[in-house]
Amino acid sequence: MAIRSLVVTREWSPSRFQSSLELVGFAVGFAAWVGTNVAWDTYHPAAFAIISSVVATYAAMYFILHPRAYRYWGFRLPDRVEGACTGAGVAAALLVAALLAAVPVPGVRGLGLPTLCASPSVYLLWCIVQDFVFFSVLTGHLRKLGLTPAVVIGASALCFAISHLPFLGFTSITFFGGLLFAWMYVRGRCLYAVTACHWLLGLAILG
């Protein structure tokens, strides 16, 4: 009787020192993004282009140097247990999106927000950038430091919300969205589902 050998492939993950170092870089970039938006009192198109380019370069570097990094960053399908949490998050987001589309949120439309939703494909790309930064990278590094899931979810949601300044009303709304997205990612580790929910909710609120 032949004995089948099992080869276990270890999933790649950054070291604790690397995570700490990159969190410092994240803090610097995050402060620059928020400070620029507050100073201009809006989102400048150049800032979108710069941030997107930096994030794309960062991701490409990891995927070239570490071919299995894509799984760590959430570019994967969840397993059965993770899928249950992911499915619950998707269902909740779809329900909220349907309600928001039917009943406009007071104080959101007409705030002078960027018209990204005028081009759903461009808005989808921006959602991918945001979700990769705040939920793949940030939650991954915070968990690597040993923080509890609750702290990781809260911190990621808070940073996600603050990134929407200087629009205070919109920032408060995105905090609750950030809690859902961070919970979905921490529990399911599937960036595809998070981005789909983010995109649909954004279109429902801003469209």
| Each residue's pLDDT tens digit, 162-202 | 998 888 877 888 898 899 899 989 988 889 989 998 988 88
Confidence of residue 161 (pLDDT cuts 50, 70, 90): very high
3-state SS of the chain: helix, strand, coil percent to 5? 75, 0, 25
- Rounded to whole angstroms, how far apart are CA atoms 38 and 118? 23
Q: Among 10-24, 61-75, 99-113, which stretch is predicted with the lowest mean pLDDT?
A: 99-113
First to last CA, the chain: 63
pLDDT at residue number 6: 38
Q: Among 13-17, 45-49, 81-85, which stretch is predicted with the lowest mean pLDDT?
A: 81-85
8 A C-beta contact, residue 78 and residue 188:
yes
State mean pLDDT over 52-80.
86
pLDDT at residue number 49: 86
